[in-house]
Chain A
Amino acid sequence: MSDSVESRPGAAAGRKRPGGPFRHVGARGVAGIFLVAALVFAAVGAAAGNVFYLRLGTEALILSGLAMSVDLLLGYTGLLSLGQAMFFGLGAYASAVLLRDYHTGFWGALVLTELLVVPVAVVAGAIAIRARGVYFILITFGLAQVIGKVIYNTRWLGGSDGMVGIPVVHAPFGIFRLDLGNPVSFFLLVLAIVAVLYVALGYLMNTPFGRTLGAIRSNESRVRYLGFDPWRYKLAAYVLAGMLAAFSGALYPMLRGFVSPELMSFSMSADAVIMVILGGVGTLIGPIYGSVILIGLKTLISGWTEHHQIAIGIIFMLAVIFMPRGLIGLVARRASRVVRPEADQ
C-alpha cells in the first residue's frame, strides 16, 4: 500500500529525511568547512591588504543573517516572505540614525534597533499571518513596499539618496575593543556573530518549539488538534525572523558608512530568497553559503558584463533544476546519514 505515498504532497524525496530533525547538525561538517574557508579568506585578505574583498566578504556575511531569517520562515515554518528586506532595511536605518544622530555606539545601536523592530514585527506579523499561502506572500511583499516608499519619501532619512556619514565605531568587549574601521577585525567580528546565530538558531529549531514550526510546515491544520495554536507559533517565528534580519541590517551602516532605500527594496528581498534556495532550504548553513555564492557571482559577473542580472537569473534557474535541494542538499545527504537523532530516541 506504499503507493498512498505518491498522493501525499510534501513527502520528502527520500524514505527518511536526511538528518531528520537534526538537519542542521547533519550539515555540521559543511559549517566547519565554511568557518575554515572564511578564516583562510581573512588571513589572505589581511596579508594582501585587500580592503575591497574583505569588505565584500563582510557584506556577504551580513546578508547571510538576512538569508537565515528567510530560511527560518521558509524552511522551518513553511512561510515564504517576499518582504524580508523590510526588516533588514529598518535595522539599517535605525542603526544609522542611532549611530550618526544619537551616538549610541555599537551595542546601543544593536539593542535599540531590536527594541524598535520588535513592535513593528509583531504588528506586521499579526497582519500577515492572518492570511495564508499566496496571500501571506503578497502581504509581506506589500508591507515592504509601503514601508520602503515611506522611507523613500522621508527627507529626514535622506529620501532617495539615503543617509551618508555614518561614523566608524568601536565594538567594546569588556577589557578590549575592536576597531570596526579595520576590515579584518570587522570581518572576524561578523563571522563570529554569524557563527553564534547559526548555532543558536540550530539549537532553537531542534527544541519542541522549533519542531512545532516543522509540524506547521508539514501539516498546519493538524497542529491545532495536538493542543497548539499554529498562529502563535507562526507569529513567534515571524518576529524572530524580523529581529534577525534587523540585527543583520543594523551591522550594514557600520560596514559601509551609508544606507539607502535600496536596502529594503524588492530585489533585496528576492536576493535573500535566492540565497536560501541556492544554498538549501531548511538547512541554515545553506543560506550562508548561498549568500556568499550570490554576492560572489554578482561581483564576478558584473566585472564582465552590465547585464549581470540576466546571468544570475539563468544560473538560478539551472541551480533549481539540477539541485532542487540546494547546494547543501547535494553535499550533506551523505554527511547527514552519519548523524542520527539517537540523542532523543
Chain B
Amino acid sequence: MTATDPILDIAELGVWFGGLAAVSDLSLSVARGSVTSVIGPNGAGKSTLFNLISGAVAANSGRVVFEGNDVTGWPAQRINRAGLARSFQITNLFPDLEVAENLRLAAQVLEPAGRGLFPPRRSRRALAKMRSLLERFGLEAKAEELAGYLSHGEQRRLEVAMTLASEPRLLLLDEPTQGMSHGDTRDTAALIRELSSELTVLLIEHDIDLVMDLSDWIVVMHQGRKLAEGPPEVVHADPAVRRAYFGEADSHA
C-alpha cells in the first residue's frame, strides 16, 4: 500500500553483510501522523532497517525518501538535522555526563551554530527544551546524576527523551520497552500514543499486545524481507504471518 501522505518512502532497499542479505528488496511507506510498527522474529532485519533509514549503515541498493528528499547515503548527522531522530535498542547515552547534560547536548541542534562558542545559558531554546523534557519524563530529581548511574528503566526513558530533544517530525523507536517493568512499559505505551499526536512514529517492538494496541499500520519482516503489511487486525489474521511469527516465535511476543 502507498500512504496518501507518506513522510517516509522506502523503495527496494537492500544491504548485504558479507554475502548475507540483512535486508533485501524492501519497500514500505509510512503515513504522516501514524504509528507504524515493524515486527518480526529476531534476525528479521528490523534494526538493520533502522540503521539504513537513520544513516548508520549505507544501503547497497534502493532508496530512502524522507519528506520528499532522497536521503539515501546522507551522513547520520544530516538526516538527524532533516528532522528524523532515532533511539537505540541497546541504551546509547553519554554515561559519564549528567542526565541534564545528555538532554542539553541533544537539544543543542535547535540552536544556530554560532551559539556554540557562547556560554550554554545563552542557548535558551536548548535549555528550555532540556527542562521541559526533564519534567515530561520525570527525570528532574535525577538531573544532576550521571546518566550511567540511572536504573535501566530511567535510562530507557532518557533514551527516548533525547530523541525528542531535536523536535523531530519522524521518530524511530527501537524496542523502547526492552527490559522494562510492566508499569514502565504501560507508561511508555501511553507516551507513544501521546507522541503520535505530535509526530510520526516508526516503532520496532516485541511486545505484540502493545504493537496491536498502538499501531495504525504494521509491517512484518522475515529474513530481511517484507512478509506482510496492513492494519493490525489484518496482519494478525494473516496465515503467513501466523506461521512465520506468531506460531513459532511466541516466546518473543
Task: Tell me whether B76 and A225 are in contact (CB under 8 A).
Answer: yes
Closest B residue, CB atoms, query A208? B116
Residues of chain A lying within 8 A (CB to CB) of residue B198 = none
Residues of chain B lying within 8 A (CB to CB) of residue A12 = 96, 146, 148
**Contact mask for chain A residues 1-21; partner B; CB cutoff 8 A; 1 contact, 0 none:** 110110010111001110011
**Contact mask for chain B residues 185-227; partner A; CB cutoff 8 A; 1 contact, 0 none:** 0000000000000000000000000000000000000000000
Residues of chain B lying within 8 A (CB to CB) of residue A225 = 54, 76-77, 80, 85-86, 92
Residue B115 at the chain A interface, CB threshold 8 Å: yes
Known: A1-B153, A11-B96, A222-B94. A208 touches B80 (CB 8 A): no
Complex CA–CA separation, A4 to B150 (angstroms): 9
- Contact partner of B97 among A2, A4, A215, A226, CB < 8 A? A215
Main secondary structure of the interface of A (DSSP, over half): helix
Between A and B, 22 residue pairs with Cβ closer than 8 Å are A1-B153, A11-B96, A15-B146, A15-B149, A17-B146, A208-B111, A208-B115, A208-B120, A209-B116, A211-B120, A212-B105, A215-B97, A215-B105, A218-B95, A219-B92, A219-B94, A224-B55, A224-B75, A226-B108, A226-B162, A226-B165, A344-B120
Residues of chain A lying within 8 A (CB to CB) of residue B126 = 208
**Contact mask for chain B residues 115-156; partner A; CB cutoff 8 A; 1 contact, 0 none:** 111111101001100000000000000011110111111010
In addition to A224-B75, A344-B120, 20 A-B residue pairs with Cβ atoms within 8 Å of each other are A1-B153, A2-B149, A11-B148, A16-B144, A16-B145, A17-B146, A20-B101, A21-B120, A204-B117, A208-B117, A208-B118, A211-B120, A212-B105, A223-B105, A224-B76, A226-B166, A227-B77, A227-B109, A229-B77, A341-B144
Identify the 3 closest CB pairs spanning chains A and B, nearest first: A227-B109, A11-B148, A224-B76
Most buried by A among B116, B126, B152, B165: B116
Residue B10 at the chain A interface, CB threshold 8 Å: no
Number of interface residues of A (CB under 8 A): 39
Complex CA–CA separation, A4 to B154 (angstroms): 11
Residue B252 at the chain A interface, CB threshold 8 Å: no
Task: Tell me whether A206 and B120 are in contact (CB under 8 A).
Answer: yes
The interface of chain B, by Cβ under 8 A from chain A, is 54-55, 75-77, 80-81, 85-86, 92-98, 100-101, 104-106, 108-109, 111, 115-121, 123, 126-127, 143-146, 148-153, 155, 162, 165-166
Closest A residue, CB atoms, query B111? A208
Residues of chain A lying within 8 A (CB to CB) of residue B98 = 16-17, 20-21
Residues of chain B lying within 8 A (CB to CB) of residue A17 = 96-98, 146
Residues of chain A lying within 8 A (CB to CB) of residue B92 = 219, 221-222, 225
Known: A11-B149, A17-B146. A226 touches B80 (CB 8 A): yes
Residues of chain B lying within 8 A (CB to CB) of residue A343 = 119, 121
- Separation in Å of the B23 CB from the closest CB of chain A? 20
Known: A2-B151, A218-B97. A212 touches B116 (CB 8 A): yes
Closest B residue, CB atoms, query A232? B77
- Contact partner of A218 among B76, B94, B145, CB < 8 A? B94
- Contact partner of A4 among B85, B116, B152, CB < 8 A? B152
Task: Give residues of chain A (181-219) contacting chain B, Cβ–Cβ below 8 Å.
Answer: 203-204, 206-209, 211-212, 214-215, 218-219
Task: Tell me whether A207 and B144 are in contact (CB under 8 A).
Answer: no
Complex CA–CA separation, A343 to B190 (angstroms): 34
- Separation in Å of the B64 CB from the closest CB of chain A? 16
Task: Tell me whether A228 and B109 are in contact (CB under 8 A).
Answer: yes
- Contact partner of A1 among B96, B117, B151, B166, CB < 8 A? B151
Residue A345 at the chain B interface, CB threshold 8 Å: yes
- Separation in Å of the B146 CB from the closest CB of chain A? 6
Known: A1-B151, A10-B95, A20-B101. A208 touches B123 (CB 8 A): yes
Residues of chain B lying within 8 A (CB to CB) of residue A1 = 151-153
Closest B residue, CB atoms, query A233? B116
- Contact partner of A16 among B94, B108, B146, CB < 8 A? B146
- Contact partner of B93 among A2, A203, A206, A219, CB < 8 A? A219
Complex CA–CA separation, A219 to B96 (angstroms): 9
Task: Tell me whether B119 and A10 are in contact (CB under 8 A).
Answer: no
Residues of chain B lying within 8 A (CB to CB) of residue A211 = 101, 104-105, 120
- Separation in Å of the A333 CB from the closest CB of chain B? 15
Task: Tell me whether B105 and A345 are in contact (CB under 8 A).
Answer: no
Residues of chain B lying within 8 A (CB to CB) of residue A10 = 95-96, 148
Complex CA–CA separation, A26 to B152 (angstroms): 30
Known: A15-B146, A16-B144, A219-B94. A345 touches B100 (CB 8 A): yes
Most buried by B among A15, A21, A212, A224: A224
Known: A8-B148, A20-B101, A21-B101. A207 touches B120 (CB 8 A): yes
- Separation in Å of the A21 CB from the closest CB of chain B? 6
Residues of chain A lying within 8 A (CB to CB) of residue B76 = 224-225
Residues of chain A lying within 8 A (CB to CB) of residue B97 = 17, 21, 214-215, 218
Complex CA–CA separation, A12 to B94 (angstroms): 11
- Separation in Å of the B202 CB from the closest CB of chain A? 15
